[in-house]
């Protein structure tokens, strides 16, 4: 085959159909022409509302594509280009709006500095040339910095040696849509056994392949591209993006270890990698670090949670506060605790706030009920005995869920309760379930009551705990059954400091990894 010079590929999304979008696509075509690229393939979704003749002109060929994903359109464009004998192909986006903070749509001259950098990319003869970039205010844009960190984290987990090379190349964003790939690299990738072009994350695939096969790869920093002045925080979009990255990296990992679909040939250690990467995925979707400590009453949760919260300078959150505050108000207003509708009506006229306060070396809080501090009032034996009557109502539980999750958005927290890890924070960074024998729980609660001036016989305390367990096991939510994804610890024979140390040993690695990822995302 007589190979020609470099061509260009631009993919048009089904969502791009406004006059502004058409202008952006034309601009991308003009940029490629400015680089001296003589042939451009515009891969256009057949479902788009843009007429196919819109971009048809000399040296611009529109290629119909009945595929949704952008990476699949790249694949169609690359196949077409290399079949026609081009030696290299410049994959280019079609949605540049700002460059280095300047509007390139209103003033095309603002794009000139970018064109000079693209020219340097084009003069690079490496088989894979990555056009790396950042976005303005990237730390405020979860879609950018979390997907960037997700890609880097997964690559580091599954391909540590290749990750070191990526790091040495200073590639900030392994998901860039600016790249030049050679005919030889593209075709050798497709010819290799088990190779499959993924629907997503083609840039990550090519980077992994080029490094593992010792192909020449280089990186050029293009600057700040985009107009992300405001925060984009769609959790569904983030999760979708993360799962795509996750799936792509796992696919490449299995492929390079010869996995062909037979479970007997799974690479050694693959399950550990998968578990760790899933933890990375969930942890990166959260802004704050959340630890849940669940368990039955008198299992030692409160004492341990308060100590750990103090050590980390986290907010200690008792999951029952919401119920306690509402119980107090309902009793004061003589509302029937069995009447869910009246309680919901009362809740609509109720304001429960949780205010953080620094006291010496610890982070404490006040519970404010309708602008009145009720921190002590909600801890009386009467309120404790009546809480199950409130907490069993599903509509009340739903409102509590919203309230607690809002707190989780505001602070790093140690949250203790009965079902927080299962019901409220299912994706907590780490979850524990503390348990103990009925004898040990009875002794602890008896001593606790005596410290608060309440003297009870041992059998009375025991019966009270058994009755509470029965109440907690009733209804749609079994508040005694533990979350299977939590760390289980029987504290019956352990002292408080021993329990604290065990939990700290488990929390610290997760917290350090989370801090590092947060630091890298700034």
Which of 240, 223, 207, 237 lies closest to 141, judged by CA? 237
At 232, the pLDDT band (50, 70, 90 cuts) reads very low
**Exposed/middle/buried for residue 221 (C-beta within 10 Å: 0-12, 13-18, 19+):** middle
> pLDDT at residue 466 above 70?
yes
At 218, the pLDDT band (50, 70, 90 cuts) reads very high
> pLDDT at residue 188 above 70?
yes
Q: Which residues pair with 292 in a beta bridge?
A: 415, 431
Specify the residue for token string 């933890």. 279
Three-state secondary structure string covering 265-321 = HCCCCHHHHHHHHHHHHHHHCCCCCEEEEECCCCCCHHHHHHHHHHHHCCEEEECCH
- Rounded Cα distance, 10 and 221, in Å: 20
- Rounded Cα distance, 403 and 409, in Å: 10
Q: Would you mind telling me the total number of residues written for the chain in this entry? A: 522
List, for residues 322-362, the tens digit of each pLDDT value. 999 999 999 999 999 999 999 999 998 999 987 766 555 55
| Mean pLDDT of the 291-308 span | 89
List, for residues 422-431, the tens digit of each pLDDT value. 778 877 888 8
The residue extents of the domains of the chain are 4-282, 287-520
Q: Which CATH class is domain 287-520?
A: alpha beta
At 78, the pLDDT band (50, 70, 90 cuts) reads very high
Q: What per-residue confidence (pLDDT) applies to 460?
A: 83
> pLDDT at residue 235 above 70?
no
Q: What per-residue confidence (pLDDT) applies to 157?
A: 79
- Rounded Cα distance, 126 and 145, in Å: 27
**Exposed/middle/buried for residue 409 (C-beta within 10 Å: 0-12, 13-18, 19+):** exposed
Q: What per-residue confidence (pLDDT) applies to 284?
A: 58
- Rounded Cα distance, 43 and 89, in Å: 13
> pLDDT at residue 477 above 90?
no
At 266, the pLDDT band (50, 70, 90 cuts) reads low
List, for residues 387-423, the tens digit of each pLDDT value. 888 988 988 988 888 888 888 877 889 999 888 887 7
At 265, the pLDDT band (50, 70, 90 cuts) reads low
The answer to whether the beta carbons of residues 86 and 7 sit under 8 Å apart is: yes
- Rounded Cα distance, 338 and 37, in Å: 75
How many CB atoms lie under 10 A from the CB of residue 408?
Answer: 22
Measure Cα distances from 298 to 138, 290, 437, 446 in Å.
46, 22, 10, 9
Q: What per-residue confidence (pLDDT) applies to 84?
A: 92
At 200, the pLDDT band (50, 70, 90 cuts) reads confident
Which of 316, 312, 333 lies closest to 512, judged by CA? 312
Q: Which pairing describes strands 290-294 and 413-417: parallel, antiparallel, or unpaired?
A: parallel
Q: What per-residue confidence (pLDDT) applies to 482?
A: 67
- Rounded Cα distance, 501 and 254, in Å: 37
Q: What per-residue confidence (pLDDT) applies to 479?
A: 57
List, for residues 92-138, the tens digit of each pLDDT value. 988 788 888 888 877 888 889 999 999 999 999 999 999 998 887 65
Number of H helices, E strands in the chain: 17, 17
At 229, the pLDDT band (50, 70, 90 cuts) reads very low
Q: What per-residue confidence (pLDDT) applies to 453?
A: 73
Percent of the chain residues past pLDDT 70, beyond the cut: 80
At 145, the pLDDT band (50, 70, 90 cuts) reads low
365-386: burial string, b at 16+ Cβ within 10 Å, e else? bebbbeeeebeebbeeeebbeb
Residues 6+ apart with CB under 8 A from 262: none
Identify which has the larger pLDDT, 282 or 295. Answer: 295
Identify which has the larger pLDDT, 394 or 473. Answer: 394
How many CB atoms lie under 10 A from the CB of residue 426?
Answer: 13
Ramachandran angles phi, psi of 175, nearest 5°: -105, 20
- What does pLDDT average to over the chain? 82
CATH number for 4-282: choose from 3.90.550.10, 3.40.50.2000, 3.55.10.10, 3.30.230.10.
3.90.550.10
At 231, the pLDDT band (50, 70, 90 cuts) reads very low
> pLDDT at residue 307 above 80?
yes
Q: What per-residue confidence (pLDDT) applies to 230?
A: 41
Which of 41, 42, 38, 60 lies closest to 50, judged by CA? 42
The answer to whether the beta carbons of residues 131 and 220 sit under 8 Å apart is: yes
Q: Which long-range contacts (CB under 8 A, 24 or more apart) does 273-277 make?
A: 273/157, 273/158, 274/250, 276/157, 277/153, 277/154, 277/157, 277/158, 277/246, 277/249, 277/250
Which of 24, 74, 26 lies closest to 180, judged by CA? 74
Poorest-pLDDT segment among 65-69, 177-181, 454-458, 490-494: 454-458
The answer to whether the beta carbons of residues 326 and 339 sit under 8 Å apart is: no
Q: Which pairing describes strands 40-45 and 4-12: parallel, antiparallel, or unpaired?
A: parallel
Q: What per-residue confidence (pLDDT) applies to 1?
A: 46
Q: What per-residue confidence (pLDDT) applies to 26?
A: 87
- Rounded Cα distance, 95 and 117, in Å: 18
> pLDDT at residue 270 above 80?
no
Phi-psi region of 134 (alpha: psi -120 to 50; beta: other; left: phi over 0): beta
Angle at 263 between CA 257 and CA 264, to 5 degrees: 80
List, for residues 10-61, the tens digit of each pLDDT value. 988 766 667 778 888 888 898 999 999 989 999 988 877 777 778 778 889 9
- Rounded Cα distance, 420 and 295, in Å: 10
Q: What is the CA radius of gyration of the chain?
A: 29
Identify which has the larger pLDDT, 186 or 142. Answer: 186
- Rounded Cα distance, 137 and 129, in Å: 26
- Rounded Cα distance, 168 and 176, in Å: 17
């Amino acid at each position: 085959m007589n190979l020609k010079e470099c061509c260009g590929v631009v993919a048009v999304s089904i969502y791009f159909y406004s006059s502004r979008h058409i202008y952006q696509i034309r601009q991308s075509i003009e940029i490629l022409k400015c680089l001296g690229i003589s042939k451009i393939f515009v891969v256009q979704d057949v479902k788009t509302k843009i007429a196919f003749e819109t971009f048809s002109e000399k040296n611009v060929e529109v290629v119909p594509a009945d595929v949704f994903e952008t990476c699949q359109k790249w694949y169609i464009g690359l196949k077409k280009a290399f079949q026609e004998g081009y030696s290299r192909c410049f994959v280019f986006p079609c949605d540049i709006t700002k460059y280095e903070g300047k509007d390139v749509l209103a003033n095309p001259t603002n794009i000139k500095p970018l064109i000079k950098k693209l020219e340097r990319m084009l003069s690079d003869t490496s088989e894979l040339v990555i056009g790396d970039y950042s976005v303005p205010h990237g730390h405020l844009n979860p879609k950018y910095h979390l997907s960037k960190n997700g890609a880097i984290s997964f690559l580091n987990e599954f391909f540590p040696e290749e990750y070191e090379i990526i790091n040495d190349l200073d590639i900030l964003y392994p998901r860039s849509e600016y790249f030049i790939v050679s005919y030889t690299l593209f075709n050798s990738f497709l010819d290799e056994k088990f190779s499959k072009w993924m629907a997503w994350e083609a840039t990550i695939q090519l980077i992994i392949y080029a490094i593992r096969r010792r192909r020449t790869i280089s990186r050029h920093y293009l600057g700040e591209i985009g107009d992300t002045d405001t925060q984009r925080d769609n959790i569904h979009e983030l999760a979708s993006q993360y799962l795509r990255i996750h799936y792509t990296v796992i696919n490449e990992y299995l492929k390079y270890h010869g996995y062909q679909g037979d479970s007997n040939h799974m690479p050694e250690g693959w399950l550990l990698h998968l578990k760790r990467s899933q933890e990375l995925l969930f942890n990166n979707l959260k802004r704050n670090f959340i630890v849940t400590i669940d368990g039955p009453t008198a299992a030692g949760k409160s004492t341990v949670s308060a100590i750990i919260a103090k050590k980390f300078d986290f907010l200690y959150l008792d999951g029952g506060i919401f119920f306690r505050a509402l119980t107090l108000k309902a009793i004061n207003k003589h509302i029937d605790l069995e009447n869910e509708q009246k309680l919901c009506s009362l809740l609509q006229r109720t304001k429960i706030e949780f205010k953080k306060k620094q006291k010496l070396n610890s982070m404490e809080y006040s519970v404010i009920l309708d602008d009145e501090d009720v921190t002590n009032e909600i801890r009386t034996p009467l309120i404790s005995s009546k809480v199950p009557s409130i907490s069993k109502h599903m509509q009340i539980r739903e409102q509590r869920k919203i309230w607690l999750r809002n707190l989780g958005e505001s602070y790093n927290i140690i949250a203790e309760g009965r079902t927080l890890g299962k019901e409220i924070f299912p994706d907590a960074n780490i979850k524990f379930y503390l348990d103990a024998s009925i004898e040990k729980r009875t002794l602890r609660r008896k001593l606790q009551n005596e410290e608060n001036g309440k003297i009870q016989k041992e059998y009375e305390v025991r019966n009270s705990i058994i009755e509470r367990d029965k109440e907690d096991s009733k209804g749609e939510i079994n508040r005694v059954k533990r979350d299977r994804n939590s760390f289980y610890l029987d504290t019956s024979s352990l002292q408080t400091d021993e329990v604290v140390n065990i939990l700290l040993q488990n929390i610290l690695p997760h917290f350090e990894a989370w801090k590092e990822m947060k630091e890298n995302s700034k």
